[in-house]
Structure 1
């Protein structure tokens, strides 16, 4: 990797930090952010940490008109010893570059991207909340900035990282949530952009989410976009079902996002010798398992919520109450193990944790 210096411009005054008990998801942002520019002539260049501020972008920037953008989401945590650490950031940057490839965006040097995040986290370490269930959410994203009203890949981009102290994603926490199976709208199809983390996928999900929220549901369960038969994701999370002692999760088929938490759950289950299978699973199969009493648990898995148990599925005017609407033993074990590793309260046998070195950040910041 070419050694590049990240220039720093510090803010003149610091914001007041919110109380941990008042934190919502994605509403408050830290004092600084990271920016790096791209042009066809210079490649990725001018990496810098600057005060958090509005962007100045031409109204004809291509991102506004053709949606060429990608993003990621990961978190920083404070350990009982007061250290800051990340959870599997290399997986996020692998996925970012897969999204880049699908959206015709130039790849990011993954090692340098992690270095940039570590330096930003080190500078903003006192923004990482310490109350139970809180963390510092990290949002890297890339937008096309070329001023041009033509349908073609942009020749200019910005890579930006912003940080937000957050509480629990769902107010229900680890308690089970109610999910509605979506039969009208689809999230994406094989050959589309479902396996990329791009904003359009989420924009297309809003209508279904809005409709079910009015009926008291927390999220929707997405079915495939062709046959409307096979389960894909739950909201913006990957989904798992425990049926007759075996865990099943939809196989990555080109329209499902490969989640970092999904990968971690699969590894943990294999480590515990719990049978887990990645394959196509239909809603009809889940319904039959419910009817014959072998549907033991269901849960979503994602960075924001970690593990989100599903207590009820509404499908074809019938309510499927799973595990008496209570959090299952496996869901709880997965949640406790993953968060224990993330917060440094449990051993990390997989080498998932990356410590943030802040020993020389104050020297750099004072230059």
Structure 2
């Protein structure tokens, strides 16, 4: 009798790869069941950065920390994100912050501008749709020309007074409550366009509702502006806006409707008459040359007729009583 016939579990425990074959015409022996041993999980170890790994092995420096650096860090109170160098590089595709010229961070939930001031050569910046209230880091952006801060929580604009190259500023949908808060922009000599209200996007500021004539006061405080809320206040096109504004207010300005005036023609009476023919010296010279060529053609035709007649007389073989020649 083989060892496997006595107890198959012994063979399984000694050589797991060998399966015993019971002898023929004999019932399989019975033996007690062998308990199944499950792997015991290794203890969890803590690392200094708060991550845990099994067996005490150090995990690679990826995961939540790297994701936070790439997408911005969470604020202390969880109110919004903070701009980091990794976020700026990932958004712009640049390896150095001073190489970034254009940056779009729209709708990222940003509350802290962080190291945005390190982008010293930034020229175009879109921060719309965030939770920004402090603009301190923007004071170092000396090359910034276009800035979009719509739909934020900005009330103080003092840092923007250092952006000496700023030309276009969008503040629609913020917390600017008085014209005094805009006095800091008076030193920006290149500022031409300022928007505090966006009717299409239904965005405004408290100053727009507090002062009905805030545009006129703003144009007086900032005489360099050429457009306020998208409307021209000086330069080409400003007269058209003023005319439209006057037309809008004309029905209610007088005591009653103005009497209709007689219809006037759109054009003068002689507008549709064809102009008289004009013959310049060039046309006269062309007619003269054409007449000379035509005269030469007639002379050549006469000479050709004479030559043909002479040839017919020379080649005639008989005399025709009618005077014609046959050849």
Q: Tell whether the structures are fold-level matches, with TM greater than 0.5.
A: no
Choose between structure 1 and 2: higher helix proportion: 2
TM-score, normalization by structure 2: 0.21
Choose between structure 1 and 2: higher strand proportion: 1
TM-score, normalization by structure 1: 0.19
Structure of higher CA gyration radius = 2
